[in-house]
Amino acid sequence: MRLAVFCSGYGSNFQALADAVRRRKLRAEIVLLVSDNPASFAVRRAVRAGIPVCLISPKLFESRAEWERLIVRVLRSQGVDLVVLAGFMRILTPYFIGAYRGKIVNIHPSYLPAFKGAHAIRDAFEAGVRETGVTVHHVTNELDSGAVILQKKVKVRRGDTLASLEKRIHAVEHRLYPAAIRKLLSKRAR
Ligand code: GRF
């Protein structure tokens, strides 16, 4: 399977996926890192890992759809068959989701459907819940709502700070994302 990973920021999930591929824990190839943000540390990680980068600022375009049309062309030229969103901070339009229907996945730092949205860890922490989690799901037109591929609960410990909870959630993410993609791979092989 040929993956394109989309990142806007730090890229620790991208790194976890790249490491899993390198260690042969994930029988896939990351053919492209797509980013909308030149300051994204994920871009540096990709360069270091020798993974080609597609870095195009949406600001160069009149509309989001125009940026997406170009990205779809790039993905097709590279034979990408799974789009992996990993901290990609833009909402994709129905055009893009239609172009890769059923082939876009995302990781979200909560046990969905609880705590959708951009501040899921903080929202869960502030709500005082006893457990939250991580979800890998298919992407549909409705935000954080597609079918779940894998989920894992994470307990909120007494004495946890937002930072300590974030750290544990990210550690779970780094294992769950490769596992979820392995699950998709094994389904496809059947
Ligand atoms: C992760 O918490 C992921 O669940 C969310 O954005 C964050 C990205 O972190 N969608 P990183 O860039 O992979 O370090």
- Ordered by start, the domain boundaries in the chain are 2-189
Q: Ligand 1 pocket, 109 CB below 6 A? A: yes
Q: How far apart are CA 32 and CA 82, in angstroms?
A: 11
In 3D space, the residue among 141, 101, 134, 40 whose CA is nearest the CA of residue 14 turns out to be 40
Average pLDDT rounded to a whole number, residues 109-120:
97
Q: Name the class of domain 2-189.
A: alpha beta
Q: Determine whether 108 is an active site residue.
A: yes
Tell me which DSSP letter residue 60 carries.
G
Tell me which DSSP letter residue 137 carries.
E
Structure tokens at 119: 């501040």
Q: How far apart are CA 154 and CA 176, in angstroms?
A: 12
- Please report where in the chains the tokens 């409705």 appear, as a residue: 142
pLDDT for the residue numbered 190: 76
| CA 110 – ligand 1 centroid, Å | 11
pLDDT for the residue numbered 19: 98
Select which of 108, 119, 170, 174 is catalytic: 108
pLDDT band of 189, cuts 50, 70, 90: confident
pLDDT for the residue numbered 166: 98
In this predicted model, what pLDDT tens digit does every residue of 48-67 receive, in sequence order?
999 999 999 999 999 999 99
In this predicted model, what pLDDT tens digit does every residue of 5-38 receive, in sequence order?
999 999 999 999 999 999 999 999 999 999 999 9
